[in-house]
Structure 1
Amino acid sequence: MQVSILRAACLAATLGLVACGGNDGKDGSNGLNGLDGTTTTVTQDGAPGLAGNDGQNGTDGKSAPRDLQLDVVGRYASGSYGKSAAEIVQFHKNSNSAMAINGADNRIDVISLAGLPTVAVANAFNDNSLSSTPFNLPTEVTVSGDEVIALGAVDSLSVYGDLLAVAMASANKTDPGAVLFYTLDAAGAGTLLKAVKVGSLPDMVTFTPDGSKVVVANEGEPDTDYVVDPEGSISIIAITAGVPSDTATLIDFDDMIFASALLDPEDYDTDEERRALLQAEDVKFASPAGTTVSQDLEPEYIAISSDSKTAYVTLQENNAIAILNLENNEVKVRGLGLKDWSQYALDYTDKDEVPLFSKVDNVFGLYQPDSIAAYEWNGATFVVTANEGDSRDWNAYSEEVRVKDLTLSTEMDVIYDQHGGKNGLGRLKVTNAVGDADENGEYEALYAFGARSFSIWDQNGTQVFDSGDDFGRITASVLGSNFNSAHTENKGDNRSDDKGAEPEAITTGEINGRTYAFIGLERVGGIFVYDITNPFAATFVAYTNNRDFSTTFEMDDDLADPCDVAEGMDCTQVPNTGDLGPEGIKFISATESPNGNPLIVIGNEVSGSVTVYQIMEL
């Protein structure tokens, strides 16, 4: 299944030259013999102009945006459904294998891409043409100092050459986790090399481009009762001659720097001062009283600059990015600001069951990116983010509330009534942690989770592009009544009151001299493609969604068994529905590709499928 947008350009120039000479003669004087005067008219071409210089030869066309076609050329169905059935994906070149986390069975699926075709599969919704070999993970490991760590869920993996790094949480998620290193053979099978202790809940792991370090985002989530709330942190593991260090360097946010010359170190040497400075630049804090800055900041995902000197780490719940200098381990935090929904169209209710967009005053989006990727333009680093959004929603503390349950200021109450009241704007989920600036119990502004977009930011954390309301408008135009469907059932518009389509996964890739961003939508599904070659002039290219909305199914990914029949669930038609819940994307260049064409590999956590798209220029 494919959806493509075609574009063409036409340039024409027309030049004209008209020359005209001569005028009517004057009447002659009467001669002595009384003859009439004569009239003379002369018409003469002007002198030929000089020949113009030859124009400059045109380029090969690589500077112009091009349309792309995405076709499914292979798919693996794990048979597991629900949360984490197929998440983060990577590629091991020497075995021509995709490697996917299967959190449902706590293993890695090694999926052979050898012999991958160059033509689309017959039925992409239920294709299962690819096979896998399970890569089983241990239940405990011994780290340096003979400490034994009981392991919980697998969260992330990264491949560099034949070295595989796997991030695993502790069995008790608030305890320190571990990164397991394996050497991979020609079949993609792994031999455990060592395990290294890292921070609490290592949510993402990645190698630097030069392979000299592994960087880990330790999210440090609290337990649901907030009895224990570990600090968020970043771990760095040095790699020397292909061998990881026995221990990691742990970087927390207690010693973050504020580089402004307007500040002295004593201006931010207490937790209260650091919090105030960060809040002033739209870093969001939402947690019980007494929570420190380091406890509240929760690293989510990492991108590394091409020179391996800088890591960009999303702090999703905090609406911020941490910028880590990998040469001196200094870290600074940049708030990402707010999206003004009076400038873009938003569908904020699930009650009308149709796509209906409005611009609303005093409603803002917190970007809160999940995935992040980096690329270069004009020698500078830019990062792209998938602005999914996320709330703190635990038993002991929750910031998530519907607008109808807030007390609004007089001005905000008028806006509320103008936009449908309790079944209109009242349905939108927002945070109660900000919006009441004067703390009088009345909210003057509303702050929704996520920005329903992707953004490009420069190396300083300044936004240079945002896709605005593209995702909502384009999916509504393409999918109609299936717009903003959840990934747990085919029911349109049921995510409009939450975070919309929830852009979750993002990566970049270069095809014939142009750089593209590929963005996966977690809820309604599908992949957006943008040409981001020039970050200041990004353009939409294509949207494709390998999902059949005509099937009927229902699952609940909060259940131990998301397909529990006793709970009224029915997953019978999930194998025929296609891909649900894209979570991770890996781009494979044409030079690395098993079939010689650029590919993207998608891990779909709810359908438990791994889908391979071939990318062709039109």
Structure 2
Amino acid sequence: MNSKLNKKLLALAISGALLTACGSDDNDDDDVPPKNNPVTTPESPAPGTTPPATPLPEQASGEITEIGRYSSGIYDDGGAEIVAFDASSDKLFVVNSGDSTIDVLDLTDPANPQKLTTIDVTAASVSGFTAGGANSIAINNGKLAVAVENDDKQANGQVYFYNTDSLAFEGAAAAGALPDMVTFTPNGEYVLSANEGEPNDEYDNDPEGSVTIIKVSDMSVRTAGFSAFNQNIQSLKEAGVRITGPAGTTVAQDVEPEYITIDRDNSTAYVALQENNALAVVNIADATVTDILPLGYKDHSLAGNGLDANKNDKAANIETLPIFGMYQPDAIASFMADDGKTYIVTANEGDGREYISEDFADEAACTAAGGLDFDDGECLMYIDETDLEDLPLDAAAFTPAQITKLTDGDGIGGLTVTNTNGDTDNDGKFEAIYAYGSRSFSIWDENAKLVFDSGDQFEQKVKEVAPDNFNASNDKNKIDNRSDNKGPEPEGVALIKLGSKVFAYIGLERQGGIMVYDITDPAQASFVQYTSNRDFTVDPEEIEDNDALDSGAAGDLGPEGMLTISAADSPNGKPLLVVGNEVSGTTTIYEIQ
């Protein structure tokens, strides 16, 4: 064991009692997801050494400052998605879907990350398996775990393992259909994979969602499935779990595990079921799903919970409306607060379902297969989204003035809402309106009871910082472009503990930028900073049309994967935040104050 690794393991042992699943170090339980000749500058530590961790001020601010950036040169094709860091070698691993590889970067100098090589997951030989690409990565104790989907997305995937030093392939373990997120338990004993089990485009092959649990020491596999809940479909719906697939869809088929976070004692995994607006609870020792917990809905009619739902007025107009938001988190994280309890932090992106097949020759064939609509060679097989103006509202639940406003196609009527929730008496008219996502981040207790929600602060802060580009998309510089959908669209989250404080970093997938919150007291979380390096003077569409422009010419677009690195593990001795940006194809390093 080299002296650098000895030092870092000692630091981890000392701080282990303080840190929980905060996205720092290599525990990877809240996000997440290489070097031949190390690059050294006069300011960089020599290879194989690390500077001492910079002492933290008594009251760390948690604010971030960009210090380094790597551009893959791939625009709008997943050039930088999920990130994972190996503290023993100072290598940063980045999922590059555009090239179907994992880029390996040298992070010895965080201000100047350099690409060393790539890992081609399709080159690994696994009997009877054809790799379709990497979706997620995580690192612990020199092992890189990679969630690899099958070339046939409805067939079972694999979790590949590589040595982070030599990059050698060390083996694979079977996973469920479409393994989309992978993480280690904090002690490194197990790897868990969230297997989405998405249906095919025709929606006639819908594999079950599941969680794979792999024992790292012997690669043995167990599966935590959801079939035990099939008989409870009605009670789950009544409790608020969204089960919205076509008739005959079981609970196990309908759930789509998206993201996993694991508690500090390595015993319980919390799994985001995004489309279902719920969290699943998994007992790791028994490999069983013990509960499915509905997250409820956000009331946008309450003060402080407003939203801008109108893209046509070309203005930042945040207002309260008689609409509910489905939290539907993407990335989740967890930490132990001073009260000794575990809390789950969620980035409430929102997600609908739409399946379109191109396998039908004409409208007659589409209709015969159960299709809903046929247009230009595309057969719409299933959709749970609609425009608010097309949703028939119950006059007994809304005033005439409200109905007029809500169904105005030139105004709020363009908001994307669901057609599967809200008709409480099944008379074809909707008594309640449900939109996708909540344009916020939330903190929940272990029973999925809401402890804190950021309300409309994300949109309010964006309005302050970028009023002329409010709710822009990540590929268009147009004000209000995403107001009728999911707004700034929070997607990624990473946590870190600095001294006695815990901070959360939330990435805004569409608007761009990072929100920073002090969550030390979960019930009293407070805004710290919103920062974005997006350059609105550069049109993203010009980057797509001009190969001479660097993919990151407009700044970071589409933040996706995020992780924090503790001062003890950091190459420069200072805590860091690393963000993979899927649209701009850039990987950005921030120093945390």
Q: Same fold (TM over 0.5)?
A: yes
Bigger Rg over Cα: 1
Give the equivalent residue in structure 1 for 2:298.
339
| Pairing of 1:183-198 with structure 2 (within 5 A) | 183-185=163-165, 189-198=166-175
User: Alpha-carbon deviation of 1:137?
Assistant: 2.0
What is the Cα deviation at residue 135 of structure 1? Answer: 2.1
TM-score (norm 1): 0.80
- Percent identity, please: 43
SS of alignment partner, residue 486 of structure 1: coil
Q: Give 1:153 shift.
A: 1.8
Q: Does 1:318 align with 2:276?
A: yes
Distance 1:510 1:571, change over 3 A: farther
The answer for the alignment partner of 2:238 in structure 1 is 280
* Residue equivalent to 1:157: 137
Give 2:565's match in structure 1, choosing from 588, 591, 594.
588
Aligned counterpart for 1:133 among listed residues 111, 116, 119: 116
**SS, match of residue 148 in structure 1:** coil
1:223 maps onto 2:200 in alignment: yes
Does the aligned pair in 1 maintain the 2:83–2:94 contact within 8 Å? yes
Indicate if the aligned counterparts of 2:263 and 2:335 stay in contact, CA closer than 8 A: yes
Q: Output one character per residue of 1:572-594: Cα deviation in whole Å (capped at 9) or x when no partner.
A: 47432110000011100111111
Which one-letter code corresponds to 1:341 in the other structure? H
| 1:375 pairs with 2:335 | yes
8 Å CA contact 2:388–2:406 kept in 1: the answer is: no
Amino acid at match of 1:416: I
Structure 1 counterpart of 2:74: 80
What secondary structure is seen at the aligned counterpart in 1 of 2:403? helix
Q: Whole-Å Cα distance in 2 between the matches of residues 219 and 349 of structure 1?
A: 32
SS in structure 2 of the partner of residue 575 of structure 1 = coil
Question: Is 1:207–2:184 an aligned residue pair?
Answer: yes
1:423 to 410, 413, 422: 410
Relative to 1, partners in 2 of residues 1:83 and 1:336: Cα closer, same or farther, differing over 3 Å? farther
User: C-alpha displacement at 1:419, in angstroms?
Assistant: 5.0
- 1:142 touches 1:195 (CA, 8 Å); kept in 2? no
Whole-angstrom distance in 2 between the partners of 1:583 and 1:138: 21
Change (3 A) 1:69 1:374: closer
1:552 deviates by 1.7
What is the alpha-carbon distance in structure 2 between the residues aligned to residue 442 and residue 224 of structure 1?
Answer: 29
2:424 corresponds to which letter in structure 1?
A
Letter of the 1:100 partner, please give it: V
Shift of 1:380: 1.4
From the superposition, tell whether residues 221 and 571 of structure 1 become closer, same or farther in structure 2 (CA, over 3 Å). Answer: farther
Contact 1:141/1:149 (<8 A) preserved: no
SS in 2 for 1:404: helix
Q: Match of 1:294, SS?
A: helix
1:439 corresponds in structure 2 to: 426
Quick one: which amino acid aligns to residue 117 of structure 2? Answer: P
Contact 2:551 2:585 in 1 (8 A): no
CA contact (8 A) 2:142 2:163 kept: yes
Give, in whole Å, the separation in 1 of the partners of 2:119 and 2:310: 43
Cα distance in 1 between the residues matched to 2:592 and 2:484: 34
Supply the AA of the counterpart residue of 1:76: Y
TM-superposed CA distance for 1:513, in Å, is 2.0
Report the equivalent of 2:392: 407
Alpha-carbon RMSD across the aligned residues, in angstroms, is: 1.8
Report the alpha carbon displacement of residue 67 of structure 1 after superposing the two structures with TM. 3.5
For 2:164 and 2:57, the matched residues in 1 are separated by 41
Give the 3-state SS of the residue equivalent to 2:466 in structure 1. helix
SS in 2 for 1:455: strand
- SS in structure 1 at match of 2:147: strand
1:263-318 superposed Cα distances (whole Å, 9 cap, x missing partner): xxxxxxxx3x4111111221112211111110000000000111111101000000
- Within the alignment, does 1:173 sit opposite 2:173 as a pair? no
Structure of greater relative contact order (alpha carbons < 8 Å, 6+ residues apart): 2
**What does the per-residue CA deviation read over 1:78-120, in whole Å, with 9 as the maximum and x for residues that have no partner?**
0011142211101111111211100110111111111335xxx
| 2:224–2:282 Cα contact (<8 Å) kept | no
Q: Mean Cα displacement is larger for which, 410-419 or 594-603?
A: 410-419
Q: 1:465 aligns with which of 438, 452, 456?
A: 452
Equivalent residue for 2:315, pick from 345, 350, 354: 354
> In structure 1, what residue type is equivalent to 2:263?
S
Matches within 5 A, 1:567-606: 572=549, 574-606=551-583
Structure 2 CA distance for aligned equivalents of residues 237 and 405 of structure 1: 47
Q: Which deviates further from its counterpart, 230-239 or 573-582?
A: 573-582
2:97 corresponds to which of 99, 103, 110: 103
Task: Describe the SS at the equivalent of 1:134.
Answer: strand
Deviation at 1:74, TM superposition (A): 0.8
Q: Could you report, residue by residue, the CA deviation over 1:136-161 in whole angstroms, capped at 9, with x for unpaired residues?
A: 22426555xxx420010210000001
1:476-555 map, 5 Å: 476-554=463-541
SS at match of 2:429: coil
* Residue of structure 2 in register with 1:248 after alignment: 221
- Aligned residue pairs total 508
CA offsets, 1:121-178, max 9 Å, x none? xxxxxxxx422123222426555xxx42001021000000111100110001100000
Equivalent residues of 1:140, 1:149 under 8 A apart: no
Question: 2:20 aligns to what?
Answer: none
1:429 shift after superposition: 0.2
Structure 1 residues 330-360: Cα deviation after superposition (integer angstroms, max 9, x where no partner): 3111000000010111100110111001111
How high is the TM-score relative to the length of structure 2? Answer: 0.83
- Equivalent-residue separation in structure 1 for 2:566 and 2:392 (angstroms): 53
Shift of 1:531: 0.5
Q: State how far apart, in whole Å, the 2-side matches of 1:572 and 1:172 are.
A: 35
Match of 1:365 in 2: 325
Q: Closer, same or farther in 2 for the Cα pair 1:99/1:61, shift >3 Å? A: closer
Preserved contact between residue 383 and residue 456 of structure 1 (Cα < 8 Å): yes
**Aligned partners of 1:420, 1:443: CA distance in 2, in Å?**
13
* Partner Cα separation in structure 2 for residue 75 and residue 341 of structure 1: 38
Q: 1:156–1:167: 8 Å Cα contact kept in structure 2? A: yes
Q: Residue 316 of structure 1 contacts residue 370 of structure 1 at CA under 8 Å; is this kept in 2? A: yes
Note the residue ranges of structure 1 that are not aligned, 5 or more in a row: 1-59, 118-128, 257-270, 556-561
